[in-house]
Structure 1
Amino acid sequence: MSRTDGGRPLGRGPRLVGWGLQKAWRLPPRHNRVRVRRGVRVPMSDGTVLLADHYTPVGDGPAATVLVRCPYGRKAPFSLLNAQILAERGHQVLFQSCRGTFGSGGAFEPMRHEVSDGRDTVAWLREQDWFDGRLLTFGASYLGFVQWALLCDPPPELLGAVVQVAPHDFSRAAWRDGAFDLFNFLGWSEMVAGQERADRLRQGLRTLRPAPRLTAAVAGSPLRKGARALLGDKAPWFEDWLEHSDLTDPFWTPLQCGDALARTGVPTLLVGGWHDLFLAQTLEQYRVLRSRGVPTRLIVGPWTHEQAAIKAGVVTAESLDWLDRCLAPSKPQGHSARIWTGGLGWQETGDWPPPRVREQTWYLGPDGTLRPDHLPGEPAEFRYDPADPTPSVGGAIMLQGGGRRDNRRLEARDDVLVFTGPPLDAPLEVRGAVTARIALWRDNPDRTLDPRPSRTRRPTPHHARCGGDSVNPEARAVFAGAGLQRRAGDPRCSAAGVQCRTGAVISRSATSRSSSSARRSGRPT
C-alpha cells in the first residue's frame, strides 16, 4: 500500500495550533497536509506489543521515516512537538509509546528495555511497505536517551539524529558525582507515576508546582519513608535507584549507553541548556563524537531542561534543518557549535570550547575574598544542621523553579560560605567548565559539597565600581551554575576536586563582581 493509505486527516484544531506555532517560533512553512493512523501494533521479540501512531504526509513522493519513542503519551502537547511538526514538513513519523505506557504492553521500567525495544521497532519498520529505507530519530530528554540506546548498535538505515537535552548514561545523572539527585528524580517519578490518571488536567496542574510536595516528602528521615508516602507503589524503580549507589553494579548496565558514543557514525545534532541537568553529558557527547570525526553540531542556549522543549523555537528550527540536511545529497560534514553567551546573545563558533581560551585560577582568600593571587589565612568555618538542610535555589532543576535565580537569601545562611572578588574593571567573558579544588576538614564522615559560581551585579548599570569592600545590599547575586562532590569516610582533611556541572558561559560587565559560594548538605537515606 502507499504511505497515504489508511488513517484520518489531522483535525482542524491541531492544524491551527501548528500554524500558530509556526508563526510564533518562525519555523519553515508547512509543506503538506497530514493523515494519522492511530494505535498501530508493533510486536517486540519477547511477544510484547507496543502501540504507535503513524503520521504520513499526504502525497505520492517518497518520505523518510522519523522514529520517535516516548513514555509520556501520544497526545498533545507531545504529539505536536514530536510528530505533527515533522509530518507537516514532509516526514513520516512513527510515534511510539514506550513499554508499559499509554496502552503499550509490559511494565514500565525506566530505560531498562530501550535498547532491545528500539532494535525490535526498527526490525518491524523494515517489513513495512511504506518504509523507504531512510530512517531518522528525534526527541528530547527520555526521547533522546532512547536514541542513544538505538545507537549502541546503529541500524544501517539511520541517516541522522536530533538529540535534545538528553543523557546517554542515566546512572551518572541519577548519582551525580556520588550524590543522588533527589529533587529531580523524585519529582520525575511522581510525574510519571500519575501521568495516566483519568484527571490528567489536574495532574498537569500538580506538575507545575511540585516543590511543596517534594519538600514535605524529603523532610523526614529516612528518605525512603517520605518517598514511599509520596509515590505509593506506582514508582518502584525509585527505591531501586536509591539502593544502588555503585555505578559499576550490573543493575545499571541497561541504563548506561555510553558505548553508543564509540560506535555511532550517524550525523547528530546535540542540544543542551546552560541550566539543564544533563548538560555535562551533552558536552561530553559533542566532545567524543567530534574527536571521532562524526558530523556533529552543538547548540547550547540559556534554558533549563523544561524550557529547551517549550520555549526554544530556535531548537525546533535547527532540528528541522538538520533532518533535511541529513537527507540531502550533501550531508552534514565536520562539526560546529551555536552558543548563547550572556550579554552577547547567540554566537556561531567552529568548536566548543572555542580556541584561544585562557585559563584563570582564583583563590579563596581570608574574610570571604576571591582573589587572583594566593594569600594564606585562617580556614573558613560553617555549621550544617540536618534538621534545616541547605535549600537548592535555581539551577539545573528538571521541572519548575530552575535557571538563574537571586541567591541573596541563600547566601545569608549560616551553612553557606561566600567568597567575593573585586569589581571588574573591564567586561569579562567566561567560557568552559569551572573546577573547584577545596581542602575540607569535617567532623561528619559523610558530606556533600556544592560549589556554585555566581555574579553580583549592582542595580545601577552605569556604576563601574562598588564602594569599600562590601557588596551593595541591593545588588543581586545571580546563580550561574553548580557542581556536586560527595565523600564518605575519613573525617580528617581531604582535598576534593569538584567539577561544576554548568560548563558555564557568562558575560560579566564592569559593574559585576565575581562570586563563589560553597554549601554543604547531607541526609541519611
Structure 2
Amino acid sequence: MAALAERLIDRRLGFTGPPVPYVRERDLRVPLSDGVVLLADLYRRPGPGEPRPTVLMRTPYGRHGLGSMIGSLLARRGFQVLVQSTRGTFGSGGQFRPFLHESADGLDTLDWVRSQPWCDGRVSMVGPSYVGHTQWAVAPYADPGLCSMNADITASEFTSTFYPGGAPGLLNLAGWVNQIGRQERIGAVTGFLATPVFSRRKRRAVTSLPLQAADVALSGAPVMFWRDFVEHAEQPREFWAPAEHDGFDAAAMPPVCMVTGWWDLFVDRQLVDFTALQRGGATARITIGPWNHGDPGSVSTIAHEMTHWLGVHLHDGPDDGRAPVRAYVQHADRWTDLPCWPPPDAQPSEWYLAPGGRLLPEAPGAGAVADPFVYDPADPTPTVGGPMLQPPSKQHDNRDIEARDDVLVYTGPPQETDLDLLGQVSAVVYVRTAAEGTDTAEGDVFVRVCDVAPDGTSLNITDAMHRLVPGREATAPDGTTVVRLALSPTGYRVRAGHRLRVQIAGAAFPRFARNHGTGERMATAVTGRRIHYEVLHGPDHPSHVVLPYHP
C-alpha cells in the first residue's frame, strides 16, 4: 500500500520514470554540544552504506507527515536524506523555543552528519516555512558551507513578519500557536486544519483581553512561544536577535532556490532576501506564484524546483538555464521571466489622494484637505483577505468594510486599457492622530489597494500596516506625521473598465493586534481610548501610492 501511495503521489506531482528503491532507518540519535539528543530518520539506498552527498531537513512538525513526504520523495529520486525533529519536538530532547536554538542546533547537526560514514561531506538543506528558516539559521555560518539551499515560503528573519510595521500579526501567529501547541496530541497535519470549531475558538481567543492568556484559550495549555510573542511586542528585535540571520554575506552563501506566492505572509521579506543574495553575487532564483502559505497549487512547483536544484548542486546534473525570477501576473494568467528583482523595466506610477474621495494619477494642483475618522479599540476596524495562514485569505470583497465610518476610501477613474502591475508597491500618507483626551500622536495606519470591478466588487490587491509610536515618529509643527509604508509586492492585472481604490484605516483586526491608544503593553492591556485621525492631502501634503506599472 505504501508503494502504491508513493506512485500516486509521484504521478500527481508530475514525476515520471521508475522510483529508486530506498530504506528508512528510524530514530538515529544526534548528540548536541549541550548534551541534548535529537532524533532523526535516514533515507538511503538499500545495502551496505557508502559515503554519499546528504540532504538535511530539520523540522518541528515531526518525521511523519511533511517530513516523511519530503524524505521519501527525494529518496525515490535517488537522494540520501536525513530528516531531524528539532529540539523539544516528537521525541527530540530539550524544550522547543521556536527560532531561538536553531542556529546552534543546526550547526551541531551539520558537523555530526559530516562525521558519519554514510556522508561524503557534501550537504544541502531543504524545506518550507519554519523548516526553511532552519536553513537560514545554518547557511551563513557553516564552514565548510552548504552545497545548496531550497528555502521556500520562508525568510532569513521573522521579526518583520511577526510584527509587520510594528503591529503584531495576531491572527496568523494565533493559528500557528494552536498548531505547535497541540500537534503532538492531535497530529501535526490535523493541527493545521481550519475547522469551524478551531476558527471560532481562535477568534474568541484573539478578541479576548489580556492577550497574554490567549494561548490557553487556543491550545488548552500555556505555549511558551505565544508568551514570547506578546511579552516582547514593544521591542521585538532585541528579543528575537538569535533568529535574525539577515546580516548574511551573500558572496559566501550557497546557491539558493526559492518558491513563494503573492499571498504568502513571508513574500515581502523573502524578496528582500532574494534581492540581497542576487546583488551580493550569490547564485539565486525564485518562483512567485498566485499562492498563499502552503497552497496546494504550489506543491508541485516546490517539489520540482527542489529536485532540480539538488540534482544540479549535489549530483552534478544539468541546469535548465531558467531566468533567475519567474513571476505570475494574476488576472492576466501569464508567467513572466525576469533577470532580477525588482523588475528593471517597471515604471513607478503615482496615484494621489484627492478631495471627494478621488484617486488621481497626477498630483493635486490646489486645495488642502484633512479627511477625519475615529478609530475605536472597542470596535476595531475589521479586515478580510490578504496573506493569511487560514481562510479567508487571498482576495475578498471589501465593500462591507469600506462602508464603515472608520475607513477612508479614494477611488480612481475606470482604466481605459489593462494595467499590469509587477514589482514593489509603496505609499506615503500624511496623518495627524491623537488619542482621545490627550495630544499624544499614536495609532495604526493601514493602507490597502483594491481592484474595483464594474459591478462594484472591491478586491484587495496589496496592503501594509504601520504602528505609530509616540516619541519615535518625526512630527511636524502642525502635528503631521509622514507615514511611509512598503506594501507587499504584487503581480496583478487591473483590467480595462476596472478602477483602482485606496483604503486608509486605523486597524485591520484581528489580522493585526488592536492599538489600545493608551500606551499600555500589548500583553496586559485591557482598556482603550478612541483615536482621532486626520488624513491630509493636497499640494503641501501629497498623500499617494506608488504602483509598479509593467509594460
TM-score by length of 2: 0.84
Quote the residue 2:91 is aligned against. 103
For residue 266 of structure 1, the aligned residue among 254, 262, 265 is: 254
User: Does 2:9 match 1:17?
Assistant: no
* Equivalent residues in 2 for 1:470-489, closer than 5 Å: 474-489=455-470
SS in 1 for 2:107: helix
Query: CA–CA distance in 1 between the matches of 2:376 and 2:219?
Result: 27
* Equivalent residues in 2 for 1:221-240, closer than 5 Å: 221-231=209-219, 233-240=221-228
Quote the residue 2:313 is aligned against. 326
CA offset at residue 20 of structure 1? 1.8
> Is the Cα contact below 8 Å between 1:158 and 1:266 reproduced in 2?
yes
> Is the Cα contact below 8 Å between 1:27 and 1:316 reproduced in 2?
no
> Are the structure 2 counterparts of residues 71 and 297 from structure 1 closer, same or farther at C-alpha, using a change threshold of 3 Å?
same
For residue 523 of structure 1, the aligned residue among 498, 504, 515 is: 515
Quote the residue 2:343 is aligned against. 354
Q: Which amino acid aligns with 1:102?
A: F
Quote the residue 1:280 is aligned against. 268
User: Does 2:388 match 1:400?
Assistant: no
1:115-145 superposed Cα distances (whole Å, 9 cap, x missing partner): 0111111111122111122211100000000
Quote the residue 2:59 is aligned against. 70
Query: CA–CA distance in 2 between the matches of 1:157 and 1:171?
Result: 25
For residue 507 of structure 1, the aligned residue among 469, 485, 493 is: 493
1:88-116 superposed Cα distances (whole Å, 9 cap, x missing partner): 10101100000000000000000111001
CA offset at residue 199 of structure 1? 6.8
> Is the Cα contact below 8 Å between 1:451 and 1:482 reproduced in 2?
yes
CA offset at residue 208 of structure 1? 7.3
SS in 1 for 2:116: coil
1:350-379 superposed Cα distances (whole Å, 9 cap, x missing partner): 222222221111101111111012233532
SS in 2 for 1:158: coil
Relative to structure 2, which stretch is displaced further, 155-164 or 377-386?
Answer: 377-386
Quote the residue 1:446 is aligned against. 442
CA offset at residue 217 of structure 1? 1.2
Q: Which amino acid aligns with 1:486?
A: R
CA offset at residue 169 of structure 1? 1.0
CA offset at residue 64 of structure 1? 2.2
Query: CA–CA distance in 1 between the matches of 2:196 and 2:313?
Result: 36
Q: Which amino acid aligns with 2:453?
A: R
For residue 417 of structure 1, the aligned residue among 408, 424, 429 is: 408
SS in 2 for 1:65: strand
SS in 2 for 1:373: coil
Query: CA–CA distance in 2 between the matches of 1:151 and 1:77?
Result: 22
1:294-333 superposed Cα distances (whole Å, 9 cap, x missing partner): 11001111111121x6643122112211111113547869
> Is the Cα contact below 8 Å between 2:360 and 2:412 reproduced in 1?
yes
Quote the residue 1:384 is aligned against. 375
Query: CA–CA distance in 2 between the matches of 1:425 and 1:446?
Result: 40
* Equivalent residues in 2 for 1:192-207, closer than 5 Å: 192-198=180-186, 203=191, 205=193
> Is the Cα contact below 8 Å between 2:194 and 2:390 reproduced in 1?
no
> Are the structure 2 counterparts of residues 199 and 40 from structure 1 closer, same or farther at C-alpha, using a change threshold of 3 Å?
closer
Identity of aligned residues (%): 32
User: Does 2:29 match 1:41?
Assistant: yes
User: Does 2:352 match 1:363?
Assistant: yes
> Is the Cα contact below 8 Å between 2:174 and 2:218 reproduced in 1?
no
CA offset at residue 251 of structure 1? 2.2
**How many pairs does the alignment contain?**
495
> What is the aligned-residue RMSD (CA, Å)?
2.4
Query: CA–CA distance in 1 between the matches of 2:14 and 2:56?
Result: 24
Query: CA–CA distance in 2 between the matches of 1:79 and 1:208?
Result: 28
For residue 420 of structure 2, the aligned residue among 429, 437, 440 is: 429
> Are the structure 2 counterparts of residues 335 and 289 from structure 1 closer, same or farther at C-alpha, using a change threshold of 3 Å?
farther
> Are the structure 2 counterparts of residues 29 and 413 from structure 1 closer, same or farther at C-alpha, using a change threshold of 3 Å?
farther
* Structure 2 alignment gaps of length 5 or more: 436-440, 508-513, 517-521, 523-551
Query: CA–CA distance in 2 between the matches of 1:200 and 1:23?
Result: 25
Quote the residue 1:463 is aligned against. none
Query: CA–CA distance in 1 between the matches of 2:445 and 2:372?
Result: 13
Which has the bigger relative contact order, CA under 8 A and spacing at least 6?
2
1:8-60 superposed Cα distances (whole Å, 9 cap, x missing partner): xxxx32x3232222222213435412211111111111110001111113478
Quote the residue 1:295 is aligned against. 283
User: Does 2:239 match 1:243?
Assistant: no
Relative to structure 2, which stretch is displaced further, 377-386 or 387-396?
Answer: 377-386
1:235-263 superposed Cα distances (whole Å, 9 cap, x missing partner): 12212222223557542221111133546
For residue 131 of structure 2, the aligned residue among 127, 143, 147 is: 143
User: Does 2:112 match 1:121?
Assistant: no
> Are the structure 2 counterparts of residues 74 and 400 from structure 1 closer, same or farther at C-alpha, using a change threshold of 3 Å?
farther
Quote the residue 2:530 is aligned against. none
SS in 2 for 1:431: strand
